[in-house]
Amino acid sequence: MPKVRTKDFYERFHLELISGEEGINRPITTSDISRPGIEIAGYFKYYPAERIQLLGKTELSFFAELSDHERMSRMERLCTDITPAIIITRGLEVPEELIEAAERESVPVLRTNMKTTRFSSRLTNFLESKLAPTTAVHGVLVDIYGIGVLITGKSGVGKSETALELVKRGHRLVADDCVEIRQEDEDTLVGTSPDLIEHLLEIRGLGIINVMTLFGAGAVRSNKRITMVINLENWDSTKQYDRLGLDEEKMKIIDTEVTKITVPVRPGRNLSVIIEVAAMNYRLKKMGVNAAQQFTDRLSDVIEEGDHED
């Protein structure tokens, strides 16, 4: 099933439908947009017909100078059975040759009053968001001091309970149980909640609770960029856990690597405070303050001084 169709951006940007209504449900497979100036000049060897075609003042003013035969021929070749739409910007007059060719091939011809560059930018952003690679992860996504923290771990380890405590401490819930993630850029992951369970938390013994109803609109948000992953696991006495924090583990989601911290769970550990501090410490590291590295450097200096005294 196509992620986005011509109808989606037609409705999103309130465009005017001129002709080709039969093709309004055509699928869009790429976020790239074409301005077919060179095609209107007659060169169709590399014509990207699968892209949305954008005609602005430059293309249409050149088109107006062509002969009647050339005008008809160029528009017939511009309208193919896979072209999602042809959009006229700046509210310019639509050539009759385009309307006729579009009707024959059922290519939607749309019009906007926006300037070409501005509309192209907005449409590209919309398509990239809709066509971005996506995945779903079992976990909880919370916004902690502006840091998007994805809490993962086996079922029953206490992810939702920890998220509830974080919400009580003033942080914001994005998604519980299932986090839908899309890669909007090479290194940008954005997490959202499925519509069915948005704003809901499942707490064993209590059942389903509505975080927005209980704590207010300030306790939730619809999406958040994922910056770090906290993996909760039951304490394993045979496993060696990082005690300094020098080694930075990474987790790959789609094509993006995200900082990952493993936190062992055992009675008496306040997980919400640990995760809250982990988020603050991550922010400090990004600002150039690394407590673990500073301690190691001081320790090395003390050891060197002791060696000199000997």
Is 283 marked active-site?
no
The rounded distance, in Å, linking the Cα atoms of 60 and 68 is 14
**Tokens, residue 164:** 């509830």
pLDDT digit string (tens) for the chain, length 310 residues: 568 999 999 999 999 999 999 999 999 999 999 999 999 999 999 999 999 999 999 999 999 999 999 999 999 999 999 999 999 999 999 999 999 999 999 999 999 999 999 999 999 999 988 888 899 999 999 999 999 999 999 988 889 999 999 999 999 999 999 999 999 877 899 999 999 999 999 998 889 999 999 999 999 999 999 999 999 998 887 777 766 666 778 999 998 999 999 888 888 788 999 999 999 988 888 888 777 777 777 878 788 776 666 5
Dihedral over alpha carbons 56, 58, 61, 66 (to 10 degrees): -110
* Complete domains list, the chain, with CATH: 6-131 (3.40.1390.20), 134-295 (3.40.50.300)
Q: In the prediction, which pLDDT does 124 show? A: 94
Rg, C-alpha atoms of the chain: 28
**Segments in 169-268 forming alpha helices (H):** 211-215
Q: Let me know if 199 is a catalytic residue.
A: no
Asked if 285 is an active-site residue, the reply is: no
DSSP 140-191: EEEEETTEEEEEEESTTSSHHHHHHHHHHTT-EEEESSEEEEEEEETTEEEE
* Active-site residue, from 26, 111, 159, 224: 159
Among 14, 243, 252, 308, the one annotated catalytic: 243
List the catalytic residue out of 90, 177, 283, 285: 177
pLDDT at 307: 66
Q: CA 165, 259, 177 angle in degrees (round to 5)?
A: 40
Contact between 109 and 18 (Cβ < 8 Å)? yes
Total length of the chain: 310
Q: Is 159 a catalytic residue?
A: yes
Given 104, 115, 118, 138, the catalytic residue: 138
| Element housing 115 (H / E) | none
Q: Provide the pLDDT for residue 137.
A: 94
CA–CA gap between residue 2 and residue 22 (Å, rounded):
17
